Amino acid sequence: MGLFTDGFKLLKKASEPLYKTPKSIQETIEIMAVAENGIFEVSKNKYSKCYRFQDINYTTATEDEQIGIFERYCKFLNSLDCNYKITINNKNKNMDELRDKVLIAEKNDGFNNYRSIYNDIIEEKIIEGRQGIEQERYLTITIERKNFEEAKAQFATLEATIHKAFIELGAEIVPLNGNERLKVLYDYYHLGDEGSFDFDIKKAKKVGADFRNDLCNGMVKYFPDHFEDESKFCKALFIKKYPSSLSDRFINEITSLPVHSITSIDVVPVPKDLTTKVLQKKYLGIESDIIKQQRVRNKNNDFSTEISYAKRTEKKEIEEIMDDVRENDQCLFFVGVTIILMAESKKELESVCETVETIGKRNSCTIDTHYLKQREALNTALPIGVRQVETMRTLLTQSLAVLMPFNVQELNDSTGNYYGINQISKNVNIGNRKKLINGNGFVFGVPGSGKSFFCKMEMGSVFLSGDDEIIVIDPMNEYFDIAETYGGTVVNMSTYTDNYVNPLEMDVWSLDPNDSKGMVREKGEFMLGLCEQCIGDSLNSRQKSIIDRCVRKLYIDIARSKEKYIPVMSDFYDILMAQPEDEAKDIALSLELFVNGSLNIFNHQTNVDVDNRFTVYGIRDLGTELSPITMLVMMESIQNRIVENGKRGKATWLYIDEFHVLLNSEYSAKYLQQLWKKVRKQGGLCTGITQNVVDLLQNYTATTMLANSEFVALLKQANTDSSKMAEVIGVSEAQLRFVTNTASGMGLIKCGSVVIPFDNQISKDTDLYRLYNTNIHEKIAEQKKREMQNNVE
């Protein structure tokens, strides 16, 4: 744009190295002093601080959502009046640290073969994905102040602005302390040996140790067009020429390459008053040139010819810029993009450079080598806070924002369960539901979508990696195999079963006549739901009062009695029959089938052995009459188990398949809602499993439960009301394309604030797949294959 005056040029002036001719490798590190709080003194009276920020879902957003993100990002760029740089670091993934974090440790329990399969899957996905590379994003701010204390105060002021902006963007941003900043640099200098960093600023101060001795590598050689150290070959590039328009995917194209790299966007804001003066001066210069051009033509008697196209274009462009600055909140910046590429050999480095240059050409950008400036370019790219190159050009806010640093969110908790890979970044998904404010969740998927497989993968991960308890309510008896494989208990409920669960079971020894603990009140709520299921219709107010009265009499009498006993349904039935109202007799008549009749499986004391970590209640053989009632009874028994586990400090994972069945009754739905709230405080994590989100959206209670659940897995869904679905679950309509016409085992996961498209497919040629698979056709084919092999043998 040619807007350069002396004052203007000073803004992009590069800082001088601390040592123009370093006498040691330590002197190549451009830091004077470091503080525990993360503030670096990078030169006299210049201080920097670095922040790590999360990625957000930009690539997967709709066009309207991207515009919203773009506008908020523009607002952030305009908010800072100091020099800053945005760095995207494709760093080495510490595989030893990663293994400790995500792989399942062996135990002496006979299940290590399955742990080995899980670990093989995870390691394979890590290698297939970004080839051992993880991506981090930093914002590094550099300010000038007289001393450290003034710098500290200024950073505190700036952080308020930064945090507010990133909250609006939906990204978390955290300041790095001194040790964390040094670790980032150490990881670059010691690529492949990241785990050896053990420097501590506080300890070093006590013994007078120089941080640079621990930070630097053993050797570095700088050449005109590249540099080498003991672990890698490197090259520093920069964007030399920008097109008139650039794709907002450009930076992501470069940083998504599976190579070690550092991409840094240096930004120097131009003060508004200086911007106005420079633009006015440029405008007046163009006007003067036009007048001179016109005079020359008039002198030649050329009165009809317009001024040259070049001058007309130049004038139009400067007028548009002036309008943008004055009316559209556009600011002016000096911007420089530096790219450091790394490889294990010079040949590999040249190949990577060609790929990056090709990406530039495809986007009409010229990417060139920082010739004779390799050392200065490296110092500029690292998140230290210095800029030692002047390869910058002026850009307005929107043009700068096009260099978009955001791509897609990651699910990358420090510990947790394996949830496949991110479809966009190909990184492994590790999520910890226990860390969520509300770890309850839902899994949705039409038949054949991989819904059951997803749940079994999570169950297996939970079982093999800790000592949590797992309980499944299984309407189709399809979780029996996994429970039996992991040494669990299978309770097959049916009219001919010997397995009994007493719905009236309670810790009667803790009862008191005043019901101070609310135990009787809670049991009354449960019995309202149970009676409603038995009656088959909604309860009226008289029926509710009678049932509540009978429940209270049953347990208060036990509380007052010296001889305690656990009641069964016939005890409740007898009290009902003793009531004077006709409605009581009607209620008793509705219960008779389930008390004294052929479906009396709940009129017994509980005899199910649940003294293990994996229990499945199968209810397929009960028929339509008993299924909803049984599910309700199971949950009452399970709730007691969760409370008991909570007292012992043990978490309980409850899975309820065909969840929508329990929504047909007002009291069953209400009971579920209370269960969802109560067990969370006792270490319970409930998961509702059903086919379509739309089924739940028809029920207000279920919709509320879904909206308040922080974990949702969406596999393939039918084409339905996407806007309503997106609103309740908390995802965008654009993201819902990952659950429409998608393959089995693929979909969306919402884990807290993170929403990612996942791929949970694994090789079919594993014992784990054969155990978890519910595809009947594949199971038949596998059985025939085994029979043929046996015949051959």
In a domain, 118, yes or no: no
Residue at a domain's end among 362, 380, 401 = 401
- pLDDT in the model for residue 3: 47
Bridge partner residues of 139 (DSSP) = 51, 86
Domain annotation covers residue 778: no
Tokens coding 402:
């096009």
Regarding whether 265 and 195 lie in a shared domain, the answer is yes
Do 236 and 377 touch, CB atoms closer than 8 A?
A: yes
**2: region left, alpha or beta (phi > 0 left; psi from -120 to 50 alpha):** left
Inside any domain, residue 773? no
Distances (CA, A) of 87 to 47, 72, 180, 184, 608: 18, 19, 15, 12, 59
Find the mean pLDDT for residues 288-305: 68
Helices and strands: H and E segment counts in the chain: 27, 24
pLDDT in tens, 428-481: 999 999 999 989 999 999 988 999 999 999 999 999 999 999 999 888 889 999
* Per-residue pLDDT band at 244 (split at 50, 70, 90): confident
| Domain extent for 596 | 502-605
Q: Is residue 19 part of a domain?
A: no
Task: Report the chain's C-alpha Rg in angstroms.
Answer: 34
**Looking at the 3D structure of the chain, how many domains does it have?**
3
d(CA 692, CA 699): 13
Average pLDDT over residues 380-384: 98
Do 141 and 229 have their domain in common?
yes
- Quote the pLDDT of residue 208: 87
**Residue 594, Cα to own-chain centre: how many angstroms?**
47
- Is pLDDT above 80 for 92? yes
pLDDT of residue 131: 60
User: How far is CA 685 from each of CA 123, 472, 682, 784, rounded to the nearest angstrom?
Assistant: 28, 12, 9, 39
- CB-based contact 366:393 (threshold 8 Å): no
What is the average per-residue pLDDT within 89-95? 86
- Count other Cβ atoms within 10 Å, centred on residue 133: 18
The average pLDDT across 252-271 equals 95
The neighbouring-strand residues paired with 351 are none
Give per-residue pLDDT as tens, 653-668. Answer: 999 998 887 777 776 7
Instruction: Report the alpha-carbon distance of residue 687 to residue 643 in Å, rounded.
Output: 17
In this structure, the chain runs to a length of 793
Q: What is the mean pLDDT of residues 55-71?
A: 91
Q: What is the pLDDT of residue 790?
A: 65
CATH of the domain at 64: 3.40.462
- The answer to whether the CB of 716 falls within 8 A of the CB of 708 is no
Token pair in block for residue 513: 């006549």
Q: Which ranges of 217-373 does DSSP label H, i.e. alpha helix?
A: 250-255, 272-299, 309-327, 346-362
How far is residue 90's CA from residue 254's CA, in Å, rounded to a whole number? 10
One domain for residues 82 and 215:
yes
Confidence class for position 378, pLDDT limits 50, 70, 90: very high
Is residue 704 over pLDDT 80? Answer: yes
Structure-model confidence comparison of residues 8 and 503, the more confident one: 503
Residue 462 contacts residue 653 (beta carbons within 8 Å): yes
Is the pLDDT assigned to residue 61 strictly greater than 60? yes
Contacts by residues 317-324 (CB-CB < 8 Å, ≥ 24 positions apart): 317/1, 318/279, 318/282, 318/283, 318/286, 319/283, 321/1, 321/279, 321/396, 322/279, 322/280, 322/283, 324/396
**What single letter denotes the amino acid at residue 695?**
D
| Segment 663-692 mean pLDDT | 84
159 and 224, same domain (yes or no): yes
Mean predicted confidence (pLDDT) in 630-654: 87
Residue 658 counted as domain residue: yes
Q: What is the mean pLDDT of residues 544-555?
A: 95
Domain boundary among 401, 430, 447: 401
Q: Which pTM value belongs to this model? A: 0.82
Residue 667: the pLDDT is: 67
156-211 pLDDT tens trace:
999 999 999 999 999 999 999 999 999 999 999 998 888 888 899 999 998 989 99
pLDDT value at residue 6: 60
Residue 709 belongs to some domain of the structure: yes
CA distances from 358 to 184, 265, 364, 365, 484 (A): 29, 20, 10, 9, 56
Residues 465 and 558 in one domain: no
Q: Answer yes or no: do 598 and 626 share one domain.
A: no
Which tokens is 761 given?
Answer: 């497919």
User: What's the pLDDT score for residue 720?
Assistant: 67
| Whether pLDDT at 322 is above 80 | no
Would you say residue 651 has pLDDT above 80?
yes
Do residues 663 and 544 share a domain?
no
Has residue 279 been placed in a domain?
A: no
Instruction: Give the DSSP H or E segment for 148.
Output: helix 148-169
Q: Which helix (H) or strand (E) holds 239?
A: strand 232-241
Same domain, 533 and 670: no
Q: Are residues 376 and 258 in the same domain?
A: yes
Nearest of 154, 149, 184 to residue 29 by alpha carbon: 184
Please check whether residue 10 lies inside any domain of the structure: no
pLDDT beyond 50 at 1:
no
The residue assigned the tokens 């189709």 is: 476
Question: Average pLDDT, stretch 46-54?
Answer: 97
Nearest to 364 by CA among 217, 241, 269: 241
Task: Determine the residue type at 329.
Answer: D
For tokens 């003034």, name the residue: 150
Maximum CA pair distance of the chain? 123
What span, in angstroms and rounded, lies between the C-alpha atoms of 14 and 263? 18
Please, what's the b/e burial string for 600-611 (b: 16 or more CB within 10 A of its CB; e: otherwise)?
bbbbeebebebe
**What pLDDT does residue 102 have?**
85
Asked if 485 and 626 sit in the same domain, the reply is yes
Q: Are 162 and 84 in contact (CB under 8 A)?
A: no
pLDDT above 60 for 276: yes
Residue 433 CB partners (closer than 8 Å, separation 6+) = 416, 417, 439, 441, 685, 710, 711, 751
Q: Are residues 344 and 250 in the same domain?
A: yes
SS3 of residue 483 by DSSP: helix
CATH of the domain at 670: 3.40.50.300
Tell me if residue 101 falls in helix, strand or coil: helix
Rounded Cα distance, 748 and 716, in Å: 9
Residue 347 and residue 218 share a domain: yes
Q: What is the Cα–Cα distance from 583 to 541, expressed in whole angstroms? A: 11
Q: What is the 3-state secondary structure (H, E, C) of 358-426?
A: HHHHHCCCEEEECCCCHHHHHHHHCCCCCCCCCCCEEEEHHHHHCCCCCCCCCCECCCCEEEEEECCCC
Alpha carbons within 13 angstroms on the beta-carbon side of residue 28 total 21
Contacts of residue 316, defined as CB under 8 A and 6 or more positions apart, other chains included, come to none
Contact (CB, 8 A) for 761 and 421:
no
pLDDT averaged over every residue in the chain: 88
Return the pLDDT at 672: 84
Please name the helix (run of DSSP H) or strand (run of DSSP E) that holds residue 49, with its range, or none. Answer: strand 46-53
Closest CA to 336 of 242, 247, 421: 242
| Comparison of pLDDT for 737 and 5, the residue scoring more | 737
Torsion on CA atoms 664, 667, 673, 674, rounded to nearest 10: -160
CA geometry: angle 312, 318, 322, nearest 5 deg: 140
Q: How far apart are CA 643 and CA 52, in angstroms?
A: 40
Arithmetic mean of pLDDT, 112-130: 88
Cβ(130)–Cβ(24) below 8 Å: no
Read off φ and ψ for residue 113, nearest 5 degrees. -65, -35
Check residue 493 and give its pLDDT.
82
Strands in 456-589 per DSSP E: 469-474, 489-492
